Amino acid sequence: MEKQYKLSGLGCPVCASNIEQKINDIPGVRNATVNFATQTLEIETESENEIPLFSELEEIVHTYEPETTLKEYSPAENSFEKEERKPKKFRKRIITFVLSAILAIAGSMQPEASAMRIFLFLLAYLIAGIRVIRKAINSIRHGNWFDENFLMSIASIGAVAIGEFPEAVAVMIFYEVGELLQESAVDHSRKSIASLMNIRPDYANLVTGDGTLRVNPVDVKIGDLIQVKAGERVPLDGIVEEGRSMLDTSALTGESVPREVFPGDPSLSGSINQSGVLTIRVNRTFGESTVNRILDMVENASEKKAATEKFITKFSKIYTPIVIGLAFLIAVIPPLIGGGSWSPWLYRGLVFLVISCPCALVISIPLGFIGGIGKASKKGILVKGSDYLEALNNVSIAAFDKTGTLTKGTYNVTKVLPASGFSESYLLETAAYAEAYATHPIAKSILRAYGKDIDFNRIEETEEIAGQGIRASVQGKKVLIGNRKMMEGAGITPSQVTENGTVIDVAVDGIFAGSLIISDEVKEDSLSALKKLKTLGVRELVMLTGDKRSVAEEVGKKLGIDRIYSELLPDQKVEIVEQLLREKPEKTTLMFVGDGMNDAPVLALADIGIAMGKLGSDAAIEAADVVILTDEPSRLPALIEIARKTHRIVEENIILAISIKVLIMTFGAAGIAGMWMAVFADVGVMLVAVLNSLRILK
């Protein structure tokens, strides 16, 4: 049983981690995940009866974040919803800052050690720090001694105890300012990601007997008719029944060119109707629609955390108790050994505590990964977890299905080979008229290649010969179109054709007129995509296909494939991928790209399974770790580049945060850095790390 909640106002990443850990400790909870970027809580239990009481969850949330509100979250809502900052909360913070600052300035103007000076500083301290101290007490009451509120409270109370009143007030004032700046930076990051995901439809115009009725897309059923006017977003997947228009699918696929649709064409939810009125028959519920799948994948991607994120979570739990211990040793050991004054060393220990807060790491790294996932989604690439995004940094082997992945997956006339005395145009026109009444894929490809309207009055009769082809009479001429067996049966000897593909021979009045080659075409961007993958460091390109050897080798040679496996059954594909997984270098990954139902087992087996989602089967999309909505191989190198940029920025944040903190902590322990520098270092590093994470979205 799964249940989702919204955590409105959640602004503290450390608190989010603590809330998640505490809820996971509740009996009956199998897994609880707090998504800081989307401010959602998802709880998974063994049964419906084991869902924790709402009051129990609310108490845990308010222990760590008193100003955060908890409410049940419907899958029909957008977890990246626009959330306005409460004016009351914002004004309260500003008033607190101004009042405490005025009191601190007034206190600094009083004579040293005077009662009024002490009173004004203490009052300023209480006004600025009461919220932090209250949260620290709440945390201690629930057994959590090592959060940022505790660190700031101990440091500032210690400063008061040794008479460093200005520093104590400064810690609280600048910590509050830092909190506001942090919330502002995180809100900006969330809004940047939300803008990428602004594709959720607000309503659907349901066609009823009395006209149209505006309803929630969740309430529309399969088979219902909906109307989409110009400028409106298509709310659900379906087939166009009436009207023609241009659909802007850029928010879904990243394709800038609008797509024209006619009656009978599919329409994807989330696209925008640019002109005309469309009547669409719904073929998927909202929960299964394209737009909901995209949102669900992006919003829930942070549940599958990358190794870097897991490391930072573990690191912060070990790091905080260690720095508290070090601060204690700095404050106590030197006076005991040297017998000097306690105050300077206590002050150094307190400075050490202020600097040590791990916020910059805890907040910026998850935001970095969710930013990378958001950037990929903008290009029509859905990554189901930050662990997959991280794994894409080390791809050594890229394996591909052929049909529908590297090739278009549709039959096309690729060559027209007229015999002596016949022209290409005549041969193609004759073949099209002979196949005009046929419905099989080869006939459709010939008619598509002809590209003109058929005058059915010219066709006098047609007869299909099972397993051979068609006999037709077109304007008094006897036409045979089919395979070699048909030609030889009629005493006609066709020319030998060496090209790969299905050969369709044509004869007119007993004379061989030529051949058409029907084959699957390579996608326009396949060659450039594979070349770019090689440039990016992918060592080996492999193709796995059930197609015949000659066709596979022709396509493979054209695309520069290193290893080609053909005439494979689904279980043989699995065996080869298992072999490739054993062969790949240590600490590298294998990605497999496919689109069909028979690719699902291999997609699940590979380190990274990538499905071509536009034409791909639902089974392939479900089994894959990444879905490419445009079916374009060129999105693969773009995806790896996004993964590497994300990894680079996350690494920069880790190095920046740790190196600056170690440097300032060293200064603090040596007595060079004071409280002011400590607070500025903590807040500054956090802001720089968050802003650096936002670069991924550019």
Strands 395-401 and 278-282: unpaired
Reduced to 3 states (helix: H, G, I; strand: E, B; else coil), residue 552 is helix
* The token pair that represents 267 in the structure block: 């329409």
Q: 408-521: which CATH topology? A: Calcium-transporting ATPase, cytoplasmic domain N (3.40.1110)
Residue ranges covered by each domain of the chain? 2-72, 87-194+301-357+668-682, 204-294, 386-406+523-624, 408-521
Q: What average pLDDT score do residues 644-650 get?
A: 91
Q: Is beta strand 29-35 parallel, antiparallel or unpaired with respect to 502-508?
A: unpaired
Residue 218 DSSP symbol: G
Least confident stretch, 235-244, 262-271, 348-357, 447-456 = 348-357
Alpha-carbon torsion, ordered 516, 518, 519, 523, to 10 deg: 80
Report pLDDT for 630: 79
Where do runs of H (alpha helix) occur along 162-306?
165-196, 250-253, 290-299
pLDDT greater at residue 159 or residue 418: 418
Per-residue pLDDT band at 66 (split at 50, 70, 90): confident
Residues 653 and 364: beta-carbon distance below 8 Å = yes
User: b vs e for 606-630, b when ≥16 Cβ sit within 10 Å of the residue's Cβ?
Assistant: bbbbbbbbbebbebbbebbbbbbbb
**Cβ-proximal residues to 693 (8 Å cutoff; 6+ apart), any chain:** 189, 364, 365, 367, 368, 371, 649, 650, 653
CATH of 2-72, one of 3.30.1360.40, 3.40.50.300, 3.60.15.10, 3.30.70.100: 3.30.70.100
Contacts of 473 (CB under 8 A, 6+ apart): 459, 460, 461, 462, 479
Give yes or no for residue 72 having a pLDDT over 50: yes
The helix or strand, by DSSP H or E, that contains position 8, with its residue range, turns out to be strand 2-8
Q: Which of 69-73, 146-150, 329-333, 419-423 has the lowest mean pLDDT?
A: 146-150
- Burial track 165-200 (b if 16+ CB lie within 10 A, e otherwise): bbbbbbbbbbbbbbbbbbbebbeebbebbbebbebb
165: its two tokens: 């009143």
Among the residue ranges 322-336, 353-367, 391-405, 547-561, the one predicted with the least confidence is 353-367
Do domains 2-72 and 386-406+523-624 share one topology? The answer is: no
Evaluate if residue 195 carries a pLDDT over 60.
Answer: no
Contact between 600 and 619 under an 8 Å Cβ cutoff? The reply is: yes
Please tell me the predicted confidence (pLDDT) of residue 85. Answer: 45
The partner residues of 212 in beta bridges, in order of sequence, read 207
DSSP 257: S
**Average pLDDT, integer, range 611-639:** 78
**DSSP labels, 269-287:** TT-EE-SS-EEEEE-S-GG
Mapping DSSP to helix (H, G, I), strand (E, B) and coil, where does residue 238 land?
strand
User: CA angle 205-208-211, nearest 5°?
Assistant: 75
Specify the pLDDT at position 80: 46
CB 417 within 8 A of CB 514: yes
Please tell me the class of the 386-406+523-624 domain: alpha beta
Active-site residues, by number, are: 401
pLDDT of 639: 95
284-318, pLDDT tens digit by residue? 888 878 777 766 665 555 555 556 666 666 676 67
Query: Whose CA is closest to 679, among 305, 169, 210, 37?
Result: 169
Average pLDDT, the chain: 82
pLDDT the model gives residue 416 = 93
- CATH T-level topology, domain 204-294: 2.70.150
Please determine, for residue 279, whether its predicted confidence score (pLDDT) is greater than 70: yes
Judge whether 39 and 341 are in contact, CB under 8 Å.
no
- Provide the pLDDT confidence category of residue 615 given band limits of 50, 70 and 90: very low
